[in-house]
Structure 1
Amino acid sequence: MPDQASAAASLPQGLSSQEAAARLAQDGPNQLPGSAPKSTAAILREVLTEPMFLMLLAAGGTYLALGDRGEALFLLGSVAVIIAITLLQERRTQRALEALRDLSAPRALVVRDGAEQRIAGREVVCGDLLVLHEGDRIAADALLLDGQLEVDESLLTGESVPVAKLPAAQLFASTVVTRGVGLARVQATAGRTAVGRIGADLAATEAPPSPLQQRSRRLVRALGALALLLAVAQVLLGWWWNGRPLLDSLLSGIALAMALLPEEIPVILTVFLALGAWRIAQLQVLTRRITAVETLGAITVLAVDKTGTLTQNRMAVTGLVTPARHWHAEGAAELPEDFHRLVEFAMLATPGDPFDPMEQAIQRFGHDWLRGTEHVHDGREPVFEYALSGEILAMTRVYTSTAPALHLLATKGAPEAVADLCHLDEARRGAIRAQVEALAECGLRVLGVACGRWTGQPGRAQAWPPSQHDFDFEFLGLLALADPPRPEVPEALAQCRAAGVRVVMMTGDHPATARAIARQVGLSERPEVLTGGDLEALDDATLRERLRRVDLCARLKPAHKLRLVQLLRAEGAVVAMTGDGVNDAPALRAAHVGIAMGERGTDVAREAAALVLLKDSFAHIVAAVAQGRRIDDNLRKATRFVFAVHVPIVTLALAPTLLQWPALLLPVHIVLLQLLIDPACAIVFEAEPEAADLMRRPPRPVTDSPFALKALRLPLLQGLGIAALLLAAQAWLLAQGWSAAQGRAVMLGALVPCVLLLILAQRDPARPLWRRAPAANPWLRPMLAAVGLLLAALLGLPGLRDLMRVEGAGLPTLAAIAAVLALCLAWLELLRLLGPGRAARRRRPC
């Protein structure tokens, strides 16, 4: 029998790094043709077909017809500015999305320079050796060199039954290994693979719009239709009722339509969600579906596995138990002979190069304590395997022996399942249960180990028995494995409690182990544990009632997790769930936010999930939830600002026609204001830091829309109040004999700083406007400088004054602007004192 060193030496060495780099340069990256980033020409086409752009052209043409070349050139010149801003925003968003695509690219385990390396799937080249495990998505077309696999090829064939693969079999890119371990040599990559020849439709498919995006599109369409109707009414009223020239009335109508169109809303959603996903990636959490960013802020239940999420996933065998005695690794100098057979069959029941951390711990323990004995069988391969299944929580590997018809059986699994396979009497089972309970109460994971013999020659007169129950086993003992909790978990759990997020442990471990770990990390004070057996015995109504008072679920199968997620959703919970295995994929899809383990998870789980943890830690999940809440909070602030700032603009564009006043706002004024409003929406609010009490608020309802009237009541009142004050000031100025140009100077001179006031008003309802520190947001000071420069240019530059049809800023004008601003500030503060700000101040910590 070959030893470990000779077995390793006989393995192929794979390509060298230099060979791989040369082939990658020659053949190109291993990726299917997909949707390319937007080109500059495509962005220009989008801008040129926007309603706002078309209205700018119409206004520019109207100014030319009136002979106002300055205004026409200003409007047409503003098109270049708008295009430049759009390009910058698109490029920033595109960079964020490209960074996410790089992170989310499939990974592959290859042999290079004689060692296993995990690389991005796009770096796989012809000639590479792929190391394949259960749950891996095959990165390229390849030839199986060694091992036995079962592969799901339904993507290509439509056949749902996995296909058995033996050495020399063909493997295809994008198919999934459902069972086994193998080594394969890459034969084709990228578009030269079977799936690549079929077409690029899979890679180019775009996700449907999210509920928030759908609601925003409906809102923009509705407001666009309203803008068109009111603009037409404005033109007709100005022309027929007020007796204005038709072209002047047309300018007023265009200004009203421009004021009503909330073209910032789609920009906010695109920028916030894309950059939000990029920010979440900085927390070691990859967003595979951008729409998940919306849902993070509404999560009410986190359903998490124990191993690797709450614990460190650093398994180590700490103790052994046979019917006769116990042994503890700590402080031991040697392993007594009584335990050699137990460890030997535990190793035989485990793959020699395992992927699972628990199986790695078993092999590591065996090599450390049985080195130099006849009980280590490196290189010995089974002739048949019975995999762990939902019906039997144990796995058996079958080996040949010196006698041709005699086979050795090595089994490990859940102690109760192994005891059942051994057909033990109730007294012996009770003794094993007591041993398991004692170990599990210490937070240890416990496995049962058994051995057996079977006489037969499959393939001639008989087949392998259909079930593990058809064998006779001898119970050898128990292995106890420790996996210490992560030190950051207790604080993260406390954050969840403060945020109103319930944490439910869903694990396949023993109930006592789950209870012990939950006690150590402070997950729950409730000792009751719901087991997989309980689930199978309860109907949905009873289980829903039980689930309301249970935080720990143990001995779960993948189907149990799916049922629990569905029941939680039916109860109205917004569920995020973690998973890592092939069988976890249905539950990950069923959850509102599926979260796959990036370090130990399978490709299937990662592709089914919306988020992938690049570091498998519960604290990173909580950090992502906090970031999701911040993104949602800032998006709502930006939405409130858009509506608050548009109300006075719309009012000043519409009211003069109804009151038979001279026009106050013209298209050139709207464009000037948009130079402030657009960056405020897309840049300033996106960079807003999270509120101090963000993780002390309850989760928002998942149906809560930022466009609902309840959410917009305060900003609408803010905007209406400012509009009323500006109109009242204009009425007073006209009564005092001020000209239209002087009144317009006061209106614009007050409206430009009001943009900044409305930005500040949305930031923190618990603080007065002048105490909302700009230092926390890096873009507030540049915005303040931009407002100051624009105001100074508007009132101080003769050319711009003429263009905007305003008179110079004398002391009376500046005094009037200051008075109006003081009244606007007082109105915003009054609303803060009487509105949500009062409740926010009560909640604010000392």
Structure 2
Amino acid sequence: MSAAIPFPERPASSATYRAEEAAEAARHIPATPEGLTAAEAASRLSRDGPNLLPANQPASRWVVVRKVLTEPMFLMLLTAGGIYLVLGSRGEALFLLAFVLAVIGLTLVQEGRTQRALDALRDLSAPKALVQRDGVAVRVPGTDVVVGDWLLLQEGDRVAADAELCSGSVSLDESLLTGEALPVEKQPATGQPDDPVVMVFASTVVTRGHGGARVTEVAANTAVGRIGGALNATVEPPSQLQQASRKLVRQLGVVAVGLSAALVLLGVWWDGRPLLDSLLSGIALAMAILPEEIPVILTVFLALGAWRLAGQKVLTRRSTAVEALGAITVLAVDKTGTLTRNQMAVVALAAAGEPLPLTDGAPLPPDLVAVLQAAVLATPPRPFDPMEQALRACGSAPAQGLPAWVNAAVPLHAYALAPGLLAMTQVHQGPDERQWLACKGAPEAVADLCRLTETQRVHLRSQVASMAGLGWRVLGVAGGHWPPEGDAASTPPDWPAGQADLGLSWLGLVALADPPRDDVPAALAECRGAGVRVIMLTGDHPATASAIATQVGLTDRPEVLTGAQIDTLSDADLTTRMARTDVCARLQPAHKLRLVRCLQAGGAVVAMTGDGVNDAPALKAADVGIAMGLRGTDVAREASALVLLDDSFARIVAAIRQGRRIFDNIDKASRFTFAVHVPIVGLALLPALMHWPALLLPAHIVLLELLIDPACSVVFEAEPPADGVMQRPPRAPGVSPFSSGNLWAGALQGSGLALVLLAGFAVLQGPLGVPEAASRGAVVVALLSSVWLLVVANRQPDRGWWPSLRAGNPWLWPMAGAVAALLVLALSVPVLRDLLHLAPVTPVVAGAAALMVVLNCFCLALTRLWRPSPAPAAPIRHTVTRAVHDAPA
């Protein structure tokens, strides 16, 4: 929770929304009508369509086809096909056309796969709306809201449609429409003929209050929908990896054009070859150089990575978060519901003396009955907050002996929790015709309201520290009557403006326990092994926060930094303190934002959890904002990059593991792509410079692309995480799979293969006198086989060949089967063999191909001995290490 004590919250907008919580939400809104029936709502939805704002729709199949045909690779293929037609080689032209059609089909399949993953994520992240159907408050997807629905508006909700405000009072953030930063207060029209209709608009945010509104417009007819294109679905800016990949592809494209043009000119003027033959060689070289797989790798890996995270109950709202997960160095988490179960129970009560643990069936002394009675009266009748539910459950137990009217009382007036006063008071009509005051909150805040003496405060602080040291959450309780003794009652009551004027009397303390989640200690240990520092940010008492942190194994350092202390520190001093502090308590949302910025200023990559409206700035400022899916507000979710669908801390750790796996696989796929293009470039370029016959033609590169694209987008994407993925420090934020180290590693692998294949071709053509078509056949067989060898070599570069060949990737051996099938078809089907300018297999050809494959295995084994420098790790000062723990206070 973002505050130190409980207060009525909006119900969780999630798929697991419970009917009784919806009913409690409706109770806050007066004069709630029955709303539509479910049948009528379904009829209107069928008639009018879903409540969707104008947005960028998924690309149609024709758009995908046009995009494929306009890519440089396929423009070159079509050009090569045209040249073959001019030369009279219809078979080659038809082969290239068939490949274009095959790639279009594969692209449509891959696009559909990616789009289905994105659609599934979009469905999960779609805002929900609380509406009245058949007289019952229910949560429905925002897309299912129809004209005539009765919307129940609560703090933190995003309004689902344009609607007339009919009841309650709300404050709305309408900056999306007006640009005005300040919230707008709205109350229903009074019913007078001249009063204008008071509207709430789709996509605005309720920042305070409750209300009921009748939907008047949906979808494109809403105010935000009529604005049109400017507010179409926001296109997410490209991530750092996407920007780096586009820059690399552009640079290589320039190189491809330059080298291809030079090769054409050399072929015509130096080698004396016909222009069209030289053009074919130039096209083959350009196709060999262009790494058109790189954009595919990023698109597929990030989209499917987000889809895999959703399967682990972590919803990805921004693909950039998938990149950042592997670089997280600091994880700032709330206590309640994240590290603990969020299942509160009252465990002890205290009045003047020592706290008395509650025992089933044991009666309470009168002074503790008064404490529990006031705590129950200060709690809403049907609370949503787990702490308040625990208070109500304890008060309703027959053994506690509370009067019957206490559990049935409905408050006449209430003073809500405020940022500067962590206490709340409710007023009830008592059995003696007087108004009873009941207050609960942070002990120090309630002590201020009761104006305790310094001696009393010293005793109270000692008592609270002792109870909080057991990991209990401690509330102060006060009571009284209104009007005060001797004052005449006014009708209606003349309530004071604030709680400080109520004349409250101190009653005692209530202690509640929220046990830690069972999976938290293991998850924290995994974070330590991964070099991720975990910090607790909570509104609880410092002693409670410290006790829970010790219980779960978060820290062994006693220092706790409070919100009051943060207010006295400069940014530089706060950054220094945070280097040795793992627990921050009594925080307000503004403190969280400042802490995130100070950690980032120190070089940390920060992930932070939050759930409230006021947590949104900190969630947005964090490198990876993580919202609670069960108890978080819509505003918190929309400010976040990730949403935990079950609020479990272990899910965050699993997401970090998945993020590291995804980045590792992008790194492997990129290295493979660099490596596989080097021999292709060498076999397309060097024969022309050496006055040899053309070795690789466009048709051969087409055949290779049928293997390279699936290897990048399917095989490497399915790679499981490395064994030690969570036993190494986070990578530095600027590390890229397109770095010079990875480029050189791939180039080294590919150069070895190219040398073997070129030497093999030279030997076959020279000393052995093997015909051109047969020599080309041996090289093509070895090259196709080496594509699979490169996959194996880059799967687990830190391990030997045998572990890399073992199971673990469901697509590795199917790819080997695909290579074998392509070779059989290319060498045994006469038509394909002629199109590829190959000859039937002879023992010499088979032996030469086998020898080149063996030598390629040897070359790859040698290159595995030299590895690029490991990715730079995050600065050690941001990791949980013994050195940090032992830092002087």
Shorter-normalised TM range = over 0.9
Amino acid at match of 1:833: L
| Structure 1 residue 137 displacement after superposition | 1.6
For 1:641, the equivalent position in structure 2 comes to: 672
Write out aligned runs for 1:205-604 (5 A): 205-324=234-353, 326-368=355-397, 369=400, 373-376=404-407, 378-382=409-413, 385-389=415-419, 391-397=420-426, 409-451=437-479, 468-604=499-635
Deviation at 1:830, TM superposition (A): 1.5
Specify which of 714, 731, 734 is matched with residue 700 of structure 1. 731
Matches within 5 A, 1:608-619: 608-619=639-650
The offset of 1:471, in angstroms, is 4.9
Matched, 1:740 2:769: no
| Contact 1:300/1:501 (<8 A) preserved | yes
1:346 CA drift (Å): 3.0
SS of residue paired to 1:772: helix
Is 2:839 the partner of 1:830? no
Amino acid at match of 2:443: P
User: In 2, distance between residues paired with 1:17 and 1:514?
Assistant: 46
1:409 Cα offset (Å): 4.8
- Deviation string 1:747-788 (CA, Å, 9 cap, x unpaired) is 111000000000011101233334424532111122111100
Matched to 1:197, the amino acid is R
**1:204 aligned residue:** 233
- Find the aligned partners of 2:144 and 2:346 in 1 and give their Cα distance: 37
Q: Which residue of 2 aligns with 1:844?
A: none
Select 1:805's aligned residue among 799, 812, 837: 837
2:631 match: secondary structure: coil
Deviation at residue 370 of structure 1 after TM alignment: 6.5
CA drift of 1:808 comes to 1.6
* CA shift for structure 1 position 434: 1.5
Provide the secondary structure at the position in 2 that maps to 1:81.
helix
Tell me if the contact between 2:411 and 2:427 (Cα under 8 Å) persists in the aligned partners. Answer: no
User: Does 663-672 or 11-20 show the bigger shift?
Assistant: 11-20
Measured against aligned partners, the alpha-carbon deviations of 1:338-383 in whole angstroms (never above 9, x if no partner) come to 334433443443344434322333334334456652334533342x
Secondary structure at the counterpart of residue 584 of structure 2: strand
Normalising by structure 2, we get a TM-score of: 0.89
Query: Take 2:390 and 2:492, find their aligned partners in 1: how far apart are those partners?
Result: 39
Q: 1:834 to 1:32 in 2, by over 3 A?
A: closer
TM-score of the aligned structures, taking structure 1 as reference length: 0.93
What SS does the corresponding residue of 1:339 show, helix, strand or coil? helix
Match of 2:49 in 1: 28
Deviation at 1:402, TM superposition (A): 11
Contact 1:757–1:769, Cα closer than 8 Å, also in 2 = no
**Distance (Å, rounded) in 2 between the aligned partners of 1:30 and 1:360:** 35
Q: 1:136 to 1:370 in 2, by over 3 A?
A: farther
Secondary structure, counterpart of 1:311 in structure 2 = coil
Residues in 2 aligned to 1:701 and 1:838: alpha-carbon distance in whole angstroms:
11
Structure 1 residue 674 and structure 2 residue 705: aligned? yes
Aligned equivalent of 1:766? 798
Q: In the alignment, what sits opposite 1:842?
A: none
Determine the structure 2 residue equivalent to 1:112.
133
- Please report how far the alpha carbon of residue 733 of structure 1 lies from its aligned counterpart in structure 2 after TM superposition: 2.0
CA, structure 1 residues 246+721, in 2 after alignment: closer, same or farther (shift >3 Å)?
Answer: same
Following the alignment from structure 2 to structure 1, what is the Cα–Cα distance between the partners of residues 622 and 27? Answer: 44
Counterparts of 1:132 and 1:677, CA distance in 2: 53
1:656-671 equivalent positions in 2, closer than 5 A: 656-671=687-702
CA distance in 1, matches of 2:480, 2:170: 25
CA contact (8 A) 1:132 1:177 kept: yes
Cα deviation, residue 419, structure 1: 1.3
Residue 465 of structure 1 and its aligned partner are, at CA, apart by: 6.1
Post-superposition offset of 1:321: 1.9
> Are the aligned partners of 1:133 and 1:355 in contact in 2 as well (CA < 8 Å)?
no
In structure 2, the residue matched to 1:752 is 784
Residues 255 and 279 (structure 1 numbering): CA distance in 2 closer, same or farther, change over 3 Å? Answer: same
In structure 1, how many angstroms separate the alpha carbons of the residues matched to 2:92 and 2:273? 19
In structure 2, the residue corresponding to 1:374 is in which secondary structure?
helix
The whole-number CA distance in structure 2 between the counterparts of 1:592 and 1:302 is 10
> Per the alignment, do residues 834 and 156 of structure 1 end up closer, same or farther by CA in structure 2, a change over 3 Å counting?
closer
In the TM superposition, what is the alpha-carbon distance from 1:41 to its structure 2 partner? Answer: 1.0
Contact 1:141–1:173, Cα closer than 8 Å, also in 2 = yes
**Identity over aligned residues, as a percent?**
59
| Alpha-carbon distance between aligned partners in 2 of 1:162 and 1:24, rounded to the nearest angstrom | 32
State the Cα distance separating 1:490 from its structure 2 match.
1.0
Structure 1: stretches of 5+ with no match in the other structure? 840-846
CA distance in 1, matches of 2:544, 2:152: 33
Q: 1:54 to 1:457 in 2, by over 3 A?
A: farther
Q: CA shift at 1:282, angstroms?
A: 0.3
Single out whichever of 183-192 and 51-60 deviates more from structure 2: 183-192
Alpha-carbon distance in structure 1 between the residues aligned to 2:35 and 2:727: 53
Alpha-carbon distance in structure 1 between the residues aligned to 2:430 and 2:395 = 21
* Alpha-carbon distance between aligned partners in 2 of 1:699 and 1:579, rounded to the nearest angstrom: 23
How large is the Cα RMSD of the aligned pairs? Answer: 2.9
Deviation digits for residues 248-270 of structure 1 (CA, Å, limit 9, x no counterpart): 11100000000011111111111
1:125-179: CA deviation from partner (whole Å, max 9, x where unpaired):
3444433332122223334455443332333333333333445554332222222
The more displaced of 104-113 and 292-301 is: 104-113
Shift of 1:403: 12
**Inter-partner Cα distance in structure 1 for 2:366 and 2:145:** 47
- In 2, the alpha carbon distance for the partners of 1:372 and 1:197 equals 57
